[in-house]
Every structure is written in structure tokens, then in C-alpha cells.
């Protein structure tokens, strides 16, 4: 994507995921970072998105117990077959 002027905060917030994935073009990345230097609001936003990602990383990944049980039965059945 190509951005040809100074960024507004409303644009910066939409670029955060691309920025974190290192998917911005070098010029855009530079504009993004320049904006952050002077903008506490966007710094907070970026920091909170990083915090959000860390918090999401702690979510449980197990399946509901009944489903685990059913899958395990299916596995045992397959092994026996």
C-alpha cells in the first residue's frame, strides 16, 4: 500500500497489524514511525495492540472435554481397526 502524505491518527490505527507484520513498504513504515514519535495517542494505541496480542496469547486452547473424549474414542477405534 502507498500513502503519500502525512498520516492522520485515524489512518495509523488501521496500519498497526500491517506494521507489526512488517508488511508496510519502507516509505510507509517510515511515515508510520515518524507519526508515532509525536503522537502519544497512537503510541498508546500501538502499545495496547501489542498488549492485546499478549493477552490473546494466553487464551485456553483445549477443546470442550466431551469433544476430546469423543475424539479419543474415535482414535482408539481407528487404532484397533
Partner 1 sequence: MVTQLLSPEDALLVEGLRAGDEAAFVAVMRMYGRGMLRVAEMYVSSRAVAEDVVQEAWVGVLRGIGRFEGRSSLKTWLYRIVANTAKTRGVRESRSVPFSSLGDGGDEGTVDPDRFIGSGERFPGHWAVPPQAWAPEGRLLADETLEVVEDAIERLPPAQRAVITMRDVQGFTSEEVCNALDLTETNQRVLLHRARAKVRSALEEYMR
For residues 29 and 45, which CB has a smaller minimum distance to partner 1 in the complex?
45
Restricted to residues 26-55, the positions that interact with partner 1 (CB under 8 A) are: 39-42, 44-45, 47-49, 51-55
The reply on whether position 3 binds partner 1 by CB under 8 A is no
Q: Which three cell numbers stand for residue 42?
A: 497512537
Alpha-carbon span 65 to 17, nearest angstrom = 34
Alpha-carbon span 55 to 19, nearest angstrom = 19
From the centroid of its chain, how far is CA 67?
A: 28
Restricted to residues 51-80, the positions that interact with partner 1 (CB under 8 A) are: 51-64, 67-68, 70-72, 74-76, 78-79
Asked if 12 and 37 touch (Cβ cutoff 8 Å), the reply is no
Binding site for partner 1 (CB under 8 A): 8-11, 13-14, 16-18, 21, 23, 39-42, 44-45, 47-49, 51-64, 67-68, 70-72, 74-76, 78-79
Amino acid at each position: 500500500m502507498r500513502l503519500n502524505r502525512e498520516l492522520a491518527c485515524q489512518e495509523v490505527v488501521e496500519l498497526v497489524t500491517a506494521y507489526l507484520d512488517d508488511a508496510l513498504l519502507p516509505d510507509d513504515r517510515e511515515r508510520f514511525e515518524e507519526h508515532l514519535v509525536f503522537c502519544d495517542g497512537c503510541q498508546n494505541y500501538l502499545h495496547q495492540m501489542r498488549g492485546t496480542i499478549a493477552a490473546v496469547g494466553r487464551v485456553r486452547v483445549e477443546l470442550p472435554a466431551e469433544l476430546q473424549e469423543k475424539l479419543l474414542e474415535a482414535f482408539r477405534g481407528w487404532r484397533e481397526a
